[in-house]
Structure 1
Amino acid sequence: MSWFLAKRKISFSFFSSPYHHHQLALLTPLPRQSISTQSQQVKEVPFIAQYLISSLGFFPERALKVSTNRRFVAIKSEDRPESVVRFFKDTGLSDDQIKTTLKPKVRELKDGGFSGELLVHLILYSSAALLSKNPLSRLLFWRDFVGKGDEALLKILQRNAGLITYDIDKYVVPRIKLLNEYGLSNRDIAGVLASYSNCMRRGLEPLRQVLEFIEELGIQRESSMFKGAFKVVHASSKDKLKGKVDFFMMRYGWSQEEVYYAFRKFPSVLTLSEGNVNLKMDFLTTKGGFKPRSIASQPVLLGYSLERVLIPRHTVLSVLKALGLKKKYSLLTACVISERRFRELYVVPYEKDVLGLREAYAAAYGIKVSV
């Protein structure tokens, strides 16, 4: 874009890159009613909100909020109870399950302390799992295990509804004990379950192999780094991780120790796809001036978006250097900071010297530039 450097009479391309009714026995809606807002405006209470109030003990304000969930929006009138049935069917339940199984399960859960909004979300996230044997005892186990209240439990079940189906003594406890042996506390395990995929469904031996391999890579179980590494690679198998080690060694000439070092600094390096790595390595070596082996000491560079971080930031830095405005720079330093901070340090101070710099950089992020 020749206009980009019009003031310096230099042109370049900034962002080029190759690169029915019986089933509703458990639903007991209130008579149609209304509530008043502070401004005394009368609003009709949605049918599903009435159900939440009457059957599950919600406060009106909370019932109205929950009723806006996209899964509930279609349930607009008691004149159309089939919409409620459809909701339960959408969660994986059959007509017979809704009629004969879900109702007693719901009653059992309510008696066990799982009521109100918590019960609604349990049905929302894992209704099929609630039909399994002894869901209450398993829910009580997980509630105690998480130990941070119902919101934390719901967050885990939202991502891992199947937890309610696992036999605690035969399946869950052995895995927890194994993870404890490798330094992960129950709180750490709960964090993995809340933020990542379900490590409890891994076979015990594959899970052990991954833990052992993390140690082989040079991170001891006593180290705080071990927990972070496990969170990143727990969904992988030992064979896949070893295959990625071989990939870096054969494709880019890294030594085994360099791969291990890169993993210790940035565990996600062994979870990136080969295609992803190849694109970024190609850019960093052909445009960024890096040697393949030197990237092993800065592996986090491979974790940044090529189009939204590496290319635009490198280009800005290169231009500033070419114009003598920035004699020395570190691409890694420029990448680790936020997008706003990058603009504050590398774009705004040089707008007068490089015409169009702010507009071109903003365009890469789809940002509207104020005039």
Structure 2
Amino acid sequence: MYSLILHGRRSLELQKWRNLRVSVKFLQNESAFSSSSSSANVSPQGNNFTVSYLVESLGLTTKLAESISRRVCFEDKANPDSVLNLLTSHGFEESQISKIITTYPRLLIEDAETSLRPKLQALLSRGASSSELAEIVSRVPKILEKRKGKSINLYYDSVRDIMQDGELCDSKPVNRIRNISVLRELGVPQKLLFSLLISNCQPVCGKERFDESLKRVVEMGFDPTKLKFVEALHVVYEMSDKTIQEKVNVYKRLGFSEKDVWRIFKKWPYSLKFSERKIKQTVETLKKCGLVEEEVLSVLKTRPQCIRSSEQKILETVETFLGLGVSRDEFKTMIKRFPHCIAYSAESMKKKFEFLVEKMDWPLEDLVLIPTIIGYSMEKRIVPRCNVIKALMSRGLIGSVNPPISSVLICRDDEFLKRYVMKHGKLVPELMDIYTGGLVS
């Protein structure tokens, strides 16, 4: 299979990919680890206790602890303490435990003795040292979600094989190891191999289906070093050719060309996973926002992820912007120019509008005309840069009126520093402290 692909029409690209050494940020699928204990069913006291516990016991930030508390909640420390103590007794370091709980918080409400200890003992019986066990579990915490027995053993062996630098052991399940070897040879990074392994559909299993799916994804031009390659392999592996064509036909009936559909698929492979009803609902909801059919198609071509947003979420986004002083026509302009604005929470939008319009005194019209600004990080871009501007204005170095918002926020970091920091001689160290520390002197 590998030689077939390697010598196919994409052989040059594949050779290039095999030699690449890139840093890939692996996004865990949060829904795979969602807790059965919804925060909606837990008292505020329990939620507050969970946040405090996560901050004090694991050293997590309050923001991260609050996010985790929406996935799992508890009202006393007895069970969580027993889980943490058990992990510590098995050689897990504090940083590893924090990583495990951040990824798989439900572990804190499992019974340490009847559920967790037998799993750890089973994994140690595979011949792993305590340090190896801790390393593997901290890399892929979902292994502890598996039931004790054959399932957890096979899962553990496969994860350990992926982490090995050398050849994979022939004694392991043949197809799984063969497929992992093929993907590794194509240049798929280790962390993405993990994501394939923990998938519910496990597209690294089987032979013929895997070969067909991989060949198709490679021929579509997906880069094996990127996350989209893994996403595309998931979709193609799970769906028959007939089902895929039916999904394509759904988009065509809504006005997209077949080329449009495959361009959308290249941007976001999961676009083919949604039902005709859901896709139509998104189209109709965008029309309710004031967009005509041609504009709706343009938005979905630019950001197909809008499809997964519910009707309620999209309409709530409209109301959020209206509440911030944006007219319906202005919102229509914003969504046409920057469809991603649908994805942001009301809290995030309010925070950015309040800071940029009320505190920095930039006109609301600037955000309407350049809506990409609301996609920038407050902590990493907006606040540090604005603090530099406020420091310069307080010293009378750039006048008493803000420079255009585009010249402050749209440019690259090096351009911003050259424009507003490096030209100020003796003040450069102080301005850099302000820029990197997020504080105004």
TM-score, with structure 2 as normaliser: 0.50
Letter of the 2:262 partner, please give it: N
Deviation at 1:318, TM superposition (A): 3.3
Letter of the 1:320 partner, please give it: L
How do residues 58-137 of structure 1 correspond to structure 2 at under 5 angstroms?
82-83=127-128, 90=143, 95=150, 103=173, 105-106=175-176, 117=185, 124-127=194-197, 129-130=201-202, 136-137=208-209
Q: Deviations over 1:215-234 (max 9, x none)?
A: 65357269766421324x23
Do the aligned partners of residues 222 and 234 (structure 1) sit closer, same or farther apart at CA in structure 2, a change above 3 Å counting? closer
Letter of the 1:126 partner, please give it: L
Give the Cα separation in 2 of the matches to 1:354 and 1:104. 61
Give the Cα separation in 2 of the matches to 1:218 and 1:137. 41
Identity of matched residues, %? 18
Give the Cα separation in 1 of the matches to 2:231 and 2:177. 24
How do residues 337-348 of structure 1 correspond to structure 2 at under 5 angstroms?
337-348=411-422
Instruction: Tell me the equivalent position of 1:182.
Output: 256
Aligned to 2:308, the other structure's residue is in SS state coil
Match of 2:359 among 245, 267, 287: 287
- Which is worse superposed, 312-321 or 279-288? 312-321
Deviation at 1:361, TM superposition (A): 2.0
Instruction: Tell me the equivalent position of 1:261.
Output: 333
Match of 1:230 among 304, 310, 317: 304
Do the aligned partners of residues 124 and 311 (structure 1) sit closer, same or farther apart at CA in structure 2, a change above 3 Å counting? closer
Give the Cα separation in 1 of the matches to 2:316 and 2:235. 30
Deviation at 1:105, TM superposition (A): 4.4
Do the aligned partners of residues 299 and 106 (structure 1) sit closer, same or farther apart at CA in structure 2, a change above 3 Å counting? closer
Deviation at 1:131, TM superposition (A): 7.7
Give the Cα separation in 1 of the matches to 2:366 and 2:381. 19
Letter of the 1:317 partner, please give it: I
Aligned to 1:351, the other structure's residue is in SS state helix
Instruction: Tell me the equivalent position of 2:113.
Output: none
Do the aligned partners of residues 312 and 130 (structure 1) sit closer, same or farther apart at CA in structure 2, a change above 3 Å counting? closer
Q: Confirm whether residue 364 of structure 1 aligns to residue 438 of structure 2.
A: yes
Q: Deviations over 1:311-354 (max 9, x none)?
A: 23223223434444323611222111122221111011113367
Deviation at 1:149, TM superposition (A): 6.0
Deviation at 1:132, TM superposition (A): 9.8
Q: Which has the higher helix share?
A: 2
Instruction: Tell me the equivalent position of 1:240.
Output: 313
Instruction: Tell me the equivalent position of 1:272.
Output: 344
Q: Deviations over 1:186-241 (max 9, x none)?
A: 24303312xxxx3333233112322454565357269766421324x233123311
8 Å contact 1:310–1:335 — kept in the other structure? Answer: yes
Q: Deviations over 1:103-136 (max 9, x none)?
A: 46449969xx958736997974434534899763
Give the Cα separation in 2 of the matches to 1:222 and 1:253. 23
Aligned to 2:309, the other structure's residue is in SS state coil
8 Å contact 2:217–2:232 — kept in the other structure? Answer: no
Which runs of no fewer than 5 residues in structure 2 stay unpaired? 1-17, 22-124, 158-171
Which runs of no fewer than 5 residues in structure 1 stay unpaired? 1-61, 66-79, 366-371
State the structure with bigger RCO (CA 8 A, min sep 6), 1 or 2: 1
Deviation at 1:293, TM superposition (A): 5.7
